[in-house]
Amino acid sequence: MMLSVFLVKWDFALSLCVIGYVIVLIALTFLYIAYTLIPILLRFIGRQYRRRKGAIHEEIAVPITGEISAAITTAIYLYLNEQHDTESGKITIKEVSKKYSPWSSKIYGMRHTPNH
What are the backbone dihedrals phi and psi of residue 60, each rounded to the nearest 5 degrees, phi first? -100, 125
Gap between the Cα atoms of 1 and 10, Å rounded: 14
Q: What is the pLDDT of residue 49?
A: 85
Torsion of CA 71, 72, 73, 76, to 10 degrees: 120
In a domain, 103, yes or no: no
What is the rounded CA–CA span in Å between residue 31 and residue 106? Answer: 57
Q: What domain count does the chain have?
A: 1
The answer to whether residue 112 sits within a structural domain is: no
How do the pLDDT tens digits run along the chain, 116 residues long?
A: 556 666 667 778 888 899 999 999 999 999 999 999 999 999 999 888 888 887 666 667 778 888 999 999 999 988 888 766 666 677 777 776 766 666 666 665 566 666 65
In whole angstroms, give the CA distance from residue 36 to residue 30.
Answer: 10
Greatest Cα-to-Cα distance within the chain, rounded to the nearest angstrom:
94
Residue 99 belongs to some domain of the structure: no
pLDDT of residue 109: 59
Residue 45 lies in a domain: yes
Is residue 55 within 8 Å of residue 61, measured between CB atoms?
Answer: no
Q: Is residue 89 part of a domain?
A: no
Encoded amino acid at 81, one letter: N
CB 39 within 8 A of CB 30: no
Q: Which domain does 35 fall in, by range?
A: 25-52
Instruction: Determine, yes or no, domain membership for 96.
Output: no
Let me know if residue 82 belongs to a domain: no
Is 50 in contact with 56 (CB distance < 8 Å)? yes
Would residue 32 count as lying in a domain? Answer: yes
pLDDT at 39: 92
